[in-house]
Every structure is written in C-alpha cells, then in structure tokens.
Amino acid sequence: MTSTITADGAGTWHLGDLTVNRLGLGAMRLTGSAAFDLGEPSDRERSLQVLRRAVELGVDHLDTAAFYFSSLRSANELICSALAPYPDDLVIATKVGPGRDASGAWLPPARPDQLRGQVEENLRQLGRDHLDLVYFRRMPAVPSISEHVGALAELRDAGLIRHIGISGVDLGHLDEALSVAPVVSVQNRYGIGSGSDAREVLDACRARGIAFVPFFAVAGQGAERGRSAGREDTEVLDIAAAHGASPAQVRIAWTLQQGAHVLAIPGTGDPTHVDENVAASALRLTAEEMDRLSAG
C-alpha cells in the first residue's frame, strides 16, 4: 500500500493549543541502525532526506530527545540541519529525565533541579528559543514525579517550554502529574500484544482529553519492520496481505484506530519507508480485523 497520501489521512488531534496530524515521526532511528548504539552511524544525507520527505508529506509532529545519538549523529542536530528555519506549523516534542555521557553510557536519572540544563541542551541543539512539548521521561528509579513536573512547570512559566507531557507512567503517576500542572500528552510503550495494564493509561487519557503517544508500536519486541514469529505475526501478515499493505502499515493503522486521541510516531532511517508509513494513515482496518489483532 503506497501512494502520495499525506499525513492528514488519519485526522488531527490537539496538544494543548497546538494541532497536529495524528501521524508523526519518531527521530530515534535517524542516528543509526539500533537504538542508543554508538557503533556505525547512520548516513547523514539519508537521515536528512527522511526528515525533509516527512515534512513534504504533511508530518508536523516530530518526537526527539537529546539522548538520541550515536557515533557522529545526533537526532536534534539532524532535525535542525534538515528543517531550520522551521515551518510555522511544525511541533517538535522532546524528552528530559534520562541522560547519557559522551561514551553513550546512561547517567543517573536527572534530579528536578537538573531538568533546566537538559531543556537548555535541547534548545541549543534544535536552534530554538522554546520547546513546543517536553516530556518528563520517568525511569524505574524515579517512583514519584511531582517534583519533576513542578520543575517543568517553572520552565513553562519562564517561557522555555510551551506544554508538558509525561512518559513511562502508570495511572498513579498521571494523577500525580495532573495535580501539579496540565499535561497535554502521555507517551508510553504500547502496541499489538500489550496487556490490559498498558491500556488503562490509554483509556484514562481518552477520558481526560489527553493525547496518548505509543512508542515502539511498530517495532514491538523485535526489529523495526516487525517480529518474525508467533500467532500475532500470523494475524498481522494475513491482514496485511488482504489489504495489499506491509506489516508495519497494519501496526500503524491498528495504533491510530485505538482512539482519536492516539498519535503514531513511527521511526525510520529509510526515506522510502516515510512514504509507506504516511500512507498507513489512510488504511482502515475492519472491526473484525481489529479484534483479531487485539486478541490474546
């Protein structure tokens, strides 16, 4: 399933006062073949083509982070080089909390008083004077997020941040964050095969009018283009064949059909896959197909 379908095929949603197409782009894979890999860097021109092609096709929501880097490549630097001066309607979301040193090793999760430095690092790399949306990405070592969200609220009041999101959270964290500041988006791992606990947060976001942005919705437990074995894969492959689509397109369509508040941010380092991913915004699965994919 390929065409010149644009990213508005699945409609739009709001991130506070910002409206975005529900099909966006995740930037992690722009830097290399594997997440957080400091080995072979990506081809720079190829990564720039991914970003420019995405915007040409109407993608107006990019998801990135300063800790998305590999040898010689930084996702934020690639975004700035490819797209600055930025289109007025382009929304760039980034994340703070985790951090990596120059060797790629993970640092201890940032304290609330360290978030300003991480926000300023993203601002410098992206060449912007404010960030549209900043997620506090909770790590398991951080049980409570109220102080971190409070620190982001102070940066919002200072004009460095426009909107606040949270990531890697459960229902308790969501309620905790909302008691401190408005939250416009939640980014959690979610995809075909996710359990009911993962869906609880998706449903809570729907009830509150908050965007839900799954990560690894296409990759699942395996490679970017889908897993290679198991009952779920058989269902995905059968449905993909019925639609003349790829397995990745079926997973993207399934994600978008989880609710009008759900945004998809499939990542790729291949310009040809940008067209494929965007075309999935117009793929409509039947109720029976949705049930088959959600079973188990």
Mind telling me the catalytic residues?
68
Strands 61-63 vs 12-15: parallel, antiparallel or unpaired = unpaired
8 A C-beta contact, residue 288 and residue 280: no
CA distances to 78, 128, 144, 173, 261 from 197, rounded to whole Å, are 36, 37, 19, 14, 18
The whole-angstrom separation of Cα 2 and Cα 275 is 7
CA distances to 26, 157, 185 from 125, rounded to whole Å, are 17, 22, 23
Which residue from 214, 199, 247 is spatially nearest to 1, judged by alpha carbons?
A: 247
Query: Which tokens is 255 given?
Result: 């994600």
8 A C-beta contact, residue 162 and residue 129: no
Sequential DSSP letters for 60-85: -EEE--TT-EETTEEHHHHHHHHHPS
Dihedral angle computed from the Cα positions of residues 17, 122, 101 and 152, in that order, rounded to the nearest 10 degrees: -50
